[in-house]
Chain A
């Protein structure tokens, strides 16, 4: 099983520890992981801003880097979703289709493909969970509060295997954090207010960490926490699942 590691551009640049944790975690679980070195970005920042027409270059580069693997795994629901929905190249339609099919967000790769039942990690802390909307509502990594459907959560399934971890839920289970790509600056006031409201619930729960599957949401929440000089830290799932 040949696996390619996809690291979103802002994770590569700002959160290398998340990428390292993802790599180590997958290897610990016995995967043969390659990291294509000339990867850049999935193209989502442009597309969500209304410029999907400008993503051809990103698409081309992505296909050049990621063709020929059994699976592509990335620690970001949002970027993976974008690729699943929008990656295309008129010159190489089959390769694009194969990537759209074989690309997985990290948690779903662990629960659905590797079917991890015993993660062998330890993290004795109080943790709050923030599932990104793209991960939850579009990749269906968890049941959604709006729908009448059986409850499940792939993230919780994994976090429950971590020794010592105490998970504390927020009252509004799955409200958006307000990051939203360029929304975070074009609608600054609403974006910040949404983030502050999410943070408030975690503060109320007295957690030490907020974790999630998308560093973009966590970066936004972290920015608010730091400005408020809060002690709460953010950590990506991968970092917790890789913790000993």
Chain B
């Protein structure tokens, strides 16, 4: 496994060294964004739908406790066992406990970013349980012992030849055969076998409905269904923010989710689960893992509205040019940069700065999270808490002092436009990162203020 670089800017510069691959990554994701635009523009009521989704989520977050308890009661009535996990470790222990009870050794798992967040695969592997990720993209990155680089398109950092090499190495496919159909079929053959021989299935949850106790899992490959139906144990894992009040609200979210994600009108499989079938056990693990903390942060509370569509990834010009792994967090991209500092400020202090604050993320977000404003807010908090380092703080202080004082400002401006030396981009030497690939503006003979004083003072 490649070692993760724990600094976005450094990792991004490594990512960009391969210019062609970077171009390909940018264009592929831009293509997905363009498909999203097209799908959105086909619905005249698009902006109204976003408003509605946002309001439903806001409302739900304001009464989470009630809806979660309602959900638990209903799910219990349906014969589903509900578990509560306060953190990642408890989540992993609960799942391990269920599997151990049934002596389950082989597990198939459909996509769940929560289990990535909790590092469930590692945990179970350490306890001699094998987990196979059955989403094709996740299966590819799992074989490569990598993390998903994107929450909807986990292997988007890889090209066909990478997949071909990976499958050749692990599945013994023909060397150099890059045909998508051939590669997909080869994976399918292996995965079918895994589905049939597994002892238990784990899935994620896209929406959990309080009034019915049911939940919906969206996939394009049908792998969640296959796992859940072919196995005697189905464990579904969800962050507590996945709850929505009523089944009718699904009509809003299912219309938005995949249009935002890939430009499809709806996921190929939107599977509704309510109760275990005869002879099956169904479990739901509801996880906190820092979410309650985020809920308590006024400025960041509504980041919990996220439905993980990844539209903000695809539109983000920084994400497209730095790749998901540069965010060193299970959820990358703009929303990841808001969620990650909540979990660990020190480790993730770089992420809110991995943005130009262009605001495109906020515009595509189907649940109207003010993403770029939250990134700005995190910057303020992180600097206040001292995560910017003393050098940065000192240089900002100089800048603030000069700019607050007209006298110092005009004095320092006179000396060869020296005032601009306090600006981060303007030191004219090879050590200044600005200068690596950009020229500086030519300093003019006089500033506008000087010109104005000469020309206009006595008019």
**A residues in contact (CB < 8 Å) with B:** 7, 9-17, 19-20, 23, 35, 37-41, 43, 45-58, 60-61, 133-134, 137-138, 144-149, 172, 174-176, 178-197, 219-220, 222-224, 226-227
The verdict on A49 contacting B379 (CB below 8 Å), with A185-B425, A220-B438, A223-B439 known, is: yes
The answer to whether B356 touches A180, judged by C-beta atoms less than 8 angstroms apart, is yes
The answer to whether A37 touches B405, judged by C-beta atoms less than 8 angstroms apart, is no
Whole-angstrom distance between the Cβ of A63 and the nearest chain B Cβ: 12
For B173, list chain A residues within 8 Å (CB).
none
The answer to whether B9 touches A186, judged by C-beta atoms less than 8 angstroms apart, is yes
For A61, list chain B residues within 8 Å (CB).
404-406
Given contacts A53-B380, A146-B360, 18 further A-B contacts (CB under 8 A): A19-B448, A35-B452, A40-B403, A40-B404, A45-B423, A49-B379, A50-B380, A51-B400, A57-B401, A58-B403, A61-B404, A134-B359, A137-B362, A179-B356, A188-B437, A190-B9, A190-B354, A193-B22
Q: Kindly name the residue among A38, A58, A185, A195 whose own CB sees the greatest number of chain B CB atoms within 10 A.
A: A185
Bound state CA distance, A189 and B363, in angstroms?
Answer: 25
Select which of B355, B383, B447, B451 is within 8 A of A183 by beta carbon: B355
For A186, list chain B residues within 8 Å (CB).
9, 353, 424, 433
The answer to whether B356 touches A57, judged by C-beta atoms less than 8 angstroms apart, is no
Q: Kindly name the residue among B26, B321, B376 whose own CB sees the greatest number of chain A CB atoms within 10 A.
A: B321
For B44, list chain A residues within 8 Å (CB).
148
**B residues in contact (CB < 8 Å) with A:** 8-9, 12-13, 16, 22, 26, 30, 37, 40-41, 43-44, 46-47, 315, 317-318, 321-322, 352-360, 362-364, 376, 379-380, 382-384, 388, 392-393, 396-397, 399-406, 409, 413, 417, 419-420, 423-425, 432-434, 436-441, 443-444, 446-449, 451-453, 456
The verdict on A148 contacting B321 (CB below 8 Å), with A14-B444, A20-B451, A50-B383 known, is: no
Whole-angstrom distance between the Cβ of A233 and the nearest chain B Cβ: 12
Whole-angstrom distance between the Cβ of B364 and the nearest chain A Cβ: 5
Select which of B8, B404, B413, B446 is within 8 A of A187 by beta carbon: B8
The answer to whether B26 touches A197, judged by C-beta atoms less than 8 angstroms apart, is yes
The answer to whether B9 touches A45, judged by C-beta atoms less than 8 angstroms apart, is no
The answer to whether A57 touches B379, judged by C-beta atoms less than 8 angstroms apart, is no
Closest to B403 in A: A41
The answer to whether A133 touches B396, judged by C-beta atoms less than 8 angstroms apart, is no
Bound state CA distance, A145 and B388, in angstroms?
Answer: 34
For A12, list chain B residues within 8 Å (CB).
413, 447-449
Bound state CA distance, A53 and B381, in angstroms?
Answer: 10
Bound state CA distance, A192 and B12, in angstroms?
Answer: 12
For B448, list chain A residues within 8 Å (CB).
7, 11-12, 16, 19-20
The answer to whether A184 touches B424, judged by C-beta atoms less than 8 angstroms apart, is yes
Q: 8 nearest interchain CB pairs?
A: A57-B404, A223-B438, A180-B356, A50-B383, A50-B379, A189-B13, A38-B406, A146-B363
17 A-B residue pairs with Cβ-Cβ distance under 8 Å, sorted by A, are A7-B449, A20-B451, A37-B453, A40-B403, A49-B379, A51-B400, A137-B363, A148-B46, A178-B317, A185-B433, A186-B424, A186-B433, A188-B434, A189-B13, A190-B354, A191-B356, A224-B438
Select which of B16, B392, B447 is within 8 A of A189 by beta carbon: B16
For A41, list chain B residues within 8 Å (CB).
403, 409
The answer to whether A54 touches B400, judged by C-beta atoms less than 8 angstroms apart, is yes
The answer to whether B437 touches A192, judged by C-beta atoms less than 8 angstroms apart, is yes
Bound state CA distance, A75 and B5, in angstroms?
Answer: 40
Whole-angstrom distance between the Cβ of A157 and the nearest chain B Cβ: 22
Whole-angstrom distance between the Cβ of B17 and the nearest chain A Cβ: 9
